[in-house]
Amino acid sequence: MTETVKRRYNAARRQAQARQNHQRVIDAAARLFADRGYTATALTEVAAEAEVAVQTLYAAFGTKANLLKHAIDVALAGDHLPVPMMERDFAQQMIAEPDPRQELAIYAAHVRQVAERAGGLLLAAWTASASDPAVKELTTELDAQRMRGMTAAASDIAAKATRAGCLADGITQDDIRDALWAFNSPQLYGLLLNDLGWTPDRFQYWLARSWTRLLLDPR
């Protein structure tokens, strides 16, 4: 009986250690890829940063591109929890908000938070995609996911603006989707913050104001 309890305890401890190692590797990869670039970062460096054996890294992720995918997924979500994006607080707040202006403000705050967490990592991925087919496949899927998210948000905003009578003249649901898509891009965030020195606060305010003025009737 004692041996059975001991084996169960050891198994639980090993599982907890494996989860901790998994999270450390992802966090280390996110830092190094964003700071040094994806191509310039070796997996041995990620393993050293995470303080795990490189064999542990390969066993958990298999390939460098798969590690990049996991790092981006965590950066976009903000944590390691397996909660779908549409079930997270910001999405539920947007859905529950009846005023399209406030919904755009909520979304601008979310975009700012994601950009702060994941902007550098996403830019590293898009830079590497030009020469790495595996990363290109990943960024193509990320774009597809982002487009699905923009389409759903645009549908919700258009419906609320139509009901409230504040949709700007000539603006369609597709126009809203395209505006959200263009303004919510890692390339634009990098241009404004990295190249022009904007602050995250300024970026968030500009997003909300620009979307509101472009898409909704000022009256």
- C-alpha separations of 58 from 12, 48, 54 in Å: 22, 13, 6
Neighbours of 71 (CB within 10 A): 27
Distance of alpha carbon 118 from alpha carbon 79, whole angstroms: 12
What tokens were used for 123? 């830019």
Read off the pLDDT of residues 154-170 as tens digits, 9 standing for 90 and up. 999 999 999 999 999 99
Whole-number pLDDT of residue 18 = 74
User: Would you place residue 147 in the very low, low, confident or very high pLDDT band (cuts 50, 70, 90)?
Assistant: very high
Name the residue among 118, 136, 140, 99 with its Cα closest to residue 33.
118
Rank 77-81, 89-93, 158-162 by mean pLDDT and report only the highest: 158-162
Spell out the domains of the chain, with CATH numbers in brackets.
1-82 (1.10.357.10), 83-219 (1.10.357)
CB count, 10 Å around CB of 151? 16
pLDDT at 11: 73
For residue 130, what are its two tokens?
Answer: 């030009």
Whether the per-residue pLDDT at 3 is higher than 70: the answer is no
Residue 88 pLDDT greater than 90, yes or no: no
pLDDT tens string 161-209: 999 999 999 999 999 999 999 999 888 998 999 899 999 999 999 999 9
Residue scoring higher pLDDT (125 or 14): 125
- For residue 76, pLDDT over 60 is answered with yes
Residues pairing with 216 in the sheet: 167
Q: What's the one-letter identity of residue 144?
A: A
DSSP-based three-state secondary structure for 167: strand
pTM of the model: 0.85
The pLDDT value given to residue 91:
87
